[in-house]
C-alpha cells in the first residue's frame, strides 16, 4: 500500500522490504547468468551490500516491533535471526572464493536458496501479520526508520551504474566486507 501525501509519496515498511527482497534475488539471478567473472563478483558484492543493509534495518526496527506486538513474536523473531545468521555465514564464505571457481557458483546458489526461503517466510507469514497488527501510519513510520537505517551504510553501486567512489572509500569490496558493512550499519567504529 502506498500512502500519497502532499509532499510526495511514502511507502510502508512491507512494500519497502518486499521490494528489497525482489532486488537482492534478482542481482543473484543475474550473477548466475553472466559468464563475465568480474561482473559476477560485482553483482554478488552488490547483493551482499543490499542484504546487509536490509537485514540490519529489519533487526533494528522491524523485528523488535514484531517481538513486542505479534502473537508468538519472540519465536518468530528468533527463527528469523537464525536465518539471517546463516545467510551472513554464506556471504562471508563468498568473500574468500574466486568468482571464476565452481565453489563460488555453488555458494551463490546456496545464498539464493536461503534468501528465497527467508523472504518467502517473511512475505507469506510475518508481513501479513504486521499489516494486521499495525496501523498504516505506524507501518509508514517504520518504513522511514528502515530507510534511514539503510542509509548508515552506502549502497554498493549497481554494476550497470556509474562507479561510486563513496562506497569504495567507506566500505570497499572483498574480504571483510560483511563485517565492515555491519560495523557501519550498527555504528560501531572498530577501525
Ligand atoms: Fe529478514
Ligand atoms: Fe527481509
Give the distance (Å) from ligand 1 centre to CA of residue 77: 9
Coil vs helix vs strand at 3: strand
pLDDT band at 33 (very low <50, low <70, confident <90, very high): very high
- pLDDT tens per residue across span 96-111: 899 999 999 999 999 9
Residue from 170, 179, 158 nearest 89 by CA: 179
Q: With 80 as the cut, is the pLDDT of residue 135 above it?
A: yes
Taking residues 37-66, report their average pLDDT.
Answer: 94
Q: Whole-angstrom Cα distance, residue 13 to residue 128? A: 11
Can you say how many angstroms the Cα of residue 166 is from the centroid of all Cα atoms in its chain? 19
Domains of the chain: which residue ranges? 13-186
Give the distance (Å) from ligand 1 centre to CA of residue 51: 9
Neighbouring CB atoms inside 10 A of 159's CB total 20
Q: How far does the chain reach from its first CA to its final CA, in angstroms?
A: 41
Q: Whole-angstrom Cα distance, residue 138 to residue 151? A: 20
- pLDDT tens per residue across span 104-132: 999 999 999 999 999 999 999 999 999 99
Give the distance (Å) from ligand 1 centre to CA of residue 110: 16
Give the distance (Å) from ligand 2 centre to CA of residue 56: 10
Contact call for residues 171 and 45 (beta carbons, < 8 A): no
Looking at the CA of 119, which ligand is closest?
2
pTM for this prediction: 0.88
Give the distance (Å) from ligand 1 centre to CA of residue 4: 27
Total H helices, total E strands in the chain: 9, 2
pLDDT at 153: 79
What is the CATH code of the structural domain delimited by 13-186?
1.20.120
Give the distance (Å) from ligand 1 centre to CA of residue 119: 7
38 vs 174 pLDDT, higher one: 38
Give the distance (Å) from ligand 2 centre to CA of residue 61: 12
Give the distance (Å) from ligand 1 centre to CA of residue 38: 28
Amino acid at each position: 500500500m502506498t500512502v500519497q501525501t502532499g509532499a510526495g509519496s511514502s511507502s510502508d515498511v512491507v512494500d519497502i522490504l518486499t521490494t528489497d527482497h525482489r532486488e537482492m534475488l534478482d542481482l543473484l539471478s543475474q550473477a548466475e547468468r553472466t559468464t563475465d567473472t568480474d561482473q559476477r563478483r560485482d553483482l554478488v558484492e552488490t547483493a551482499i551490500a543490499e542484504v546487509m543493509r536490509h537485514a540490519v534495518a529489519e533487526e533494528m526496527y522491524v523485528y523488535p516491533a514484531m517481538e513486542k506486538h505479534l502473537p508468538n513474536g519472540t519465536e518468530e523473531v528468533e527463527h528469523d535471526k537464525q536465518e539471517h545468521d546463516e545467510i551472513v555465514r554464506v556471504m562471508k564464505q563468498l568473500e574468500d572464493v574466486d568468482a571464476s571457481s565452481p565453489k563460488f557458483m555453488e555458494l551463490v546458489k546456496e545464498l539464493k536458496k536461503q534468501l528465497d526461503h527467508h523472504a518467502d517466510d517473511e512475505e507469506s507469514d510475518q508481513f501479513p501479520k504486521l499489516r494486521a497488527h499495525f496501523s498504516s501510519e505506524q507501518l509508514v513510520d517504520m518504513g522511514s526508520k528502515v530507510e534511514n537505517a539503510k542509509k548508515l551504510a552506502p549502497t554498493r553501486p549497481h554494476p550497470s551504474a556509474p562507479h561510486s567512489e563513496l562506497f569504495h572509500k567507506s566500505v570497499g569490496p572483498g574480504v571483510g566486507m560483511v563485517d565492515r558493512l555491519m560495523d557501519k550499519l550498527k555504528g560501531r567504529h572498530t577501525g
